[in-house]
Homo-oligomer: A and B are copies of this chain.
Amino acid sequence: MIIVMEANTDQKHIDEVIKKIKSLGYSPHIIKGIERTIIGAVGDEREKTRLQSLESMSGVESVVPILKPHKLASRQVRTEGSTISVNKNVKVGAKEFIVMAGPCSVESEKQIVETAKAVKASGAKVLRGGAFKPRTSPYSFQGLEEEGLKLLALAREETGLPFVTEVMNPREVDLVAKYTDVIQIGARNVQNFSLLKEIGRLKKPILLKRGMMTTIQEFLMSAEYVMSEGNHQVILCERGIRTFETATRNTLDISCIPVLKNETHLPIIIDPSHATGHWQFINPMSKASAAAGADGLMIEVHIKPEESFSDGAQTLKPSKFDRLMKELRPFVEAAGKAL
């Protein structure tokens, strides 16, 4: 931590801050500048009371943190990238570029099984589909719940594809975990710390979506919540952040791929469907994600998008998904991965 004192502060205030820093177990280092004094506080600020509250002391202008607050998720802890096994064949973060595809919500046996067959035929390795749906309105379709989980399991049986599905309520974690291969935490729950602790006790891979309001630092701290409970199998997923631009539903922050690759050993996949909100933009954004070094994609596919209960506008038909998978290959390969 660096404590920046106000210009021309009294020595008395500086002495009080130094005393306080020592009492909290840090070593103070004073630098007298031309206009103001700054004080470096040496010590691991992740282990102790944070020094941020020094800002309320007289004469203190600001407190600037230096250390990154995450540990287990950090690239410093583990230099090479982590590989997360979805099942014995499918690994996220390894050589293979993993595409997860399927409908927004599970709606019926026919819908989920046919979609699963279609996406498998085109090369998807994981099926996605929601059984518990976080909808902005209480009057919207809320998902088939356990019935949806059963239909996903049936689709897995028929196709061999493992699946990922969302859990929203700590009370339902065990139920969802009983069926699914990968547990998804949705964007709106990225800082639902009770839920993060709960799934941190599982032995299943977690797909953690970045919130539309979450900085990369906060996103990694949410991964850290899961990991600090013992579950290190976390796959990060960027799905667009909220900005002033309205031409797309959210703004896909593709730069987060190299930033995350720099900061963490966890694998990163991209969801261009929720990010853009329009099916026309999914194809180029998928290619851009592969080119920037993502480990995979998550894409909404539905056998009849115009009849889907939710998110139809951003959903690909199987034929368009198939074309995307074919066009994607050279980009994936140029990025050093295999599809």
Contacts and interface: CB of A to CB of B under 8 A. Distances in A.
A32 B333 CA distance: 43
Nearest to A216: B247
Contact of A252 (B7, B67, B217, B255): B255
A313 B241 contact: no
A171 B168 contact: no
A222 to B, nearest CB: 8
Given A224-B137, A244-B243, A52 B292 contact: no
A254 B218 contact: no
A333 B287 CA distance: 13
A28 B308 CA distance: 20
Interface stretch (A34-42, A91-99, A118-126, A151-159): A34-42
Contact of A279 (B42, B54, B56, B136): B56
A285 B46 CA distance: 32
Interface stretch (A81-89, A108-116, A201-209, A257-265): A257-265
A40 B42 contact: no
A292 B252 CA distance: 12
Interface centre among A134, A171, A213, A229 (most CB of B within 10 A): A213
Contacts of A287: 291-292, 334-335
Interface string A255-279: 1111100100000000000011011
Given A44-B35, A243-B243, A313 B194 contact: no
Interface in A8-54: 8, 20, 29, 31-36, 38, 40, 42-44, 46-47, 49-50, 52-54
A80 interface: no
Nearest to A330: B334
Contacts of A52: 312-313
Contact of A254 (B7, B42, B135, B254): B254
A181 B53 CA distance: 29
Given A134-B193, A136-B218, 11 more contacts: A56-B315, A139-B228, A169-B170, A189-B192, A243-B251, A247-B255, A248-B255, A257-B288, A258-B281, A258-B284, A291-B291
20 contacts: A2-B2, A8-B76, A33-B66, A33-B67, A38-B66, A46-B139, A53-B313, A134-B191, A138-B225, A170-B171, A188-B191, A216-B247, A241-B245, A243-B251, A245-B256, A247-B255, A288-B289, A290-B291, A291-B331, A331-B331
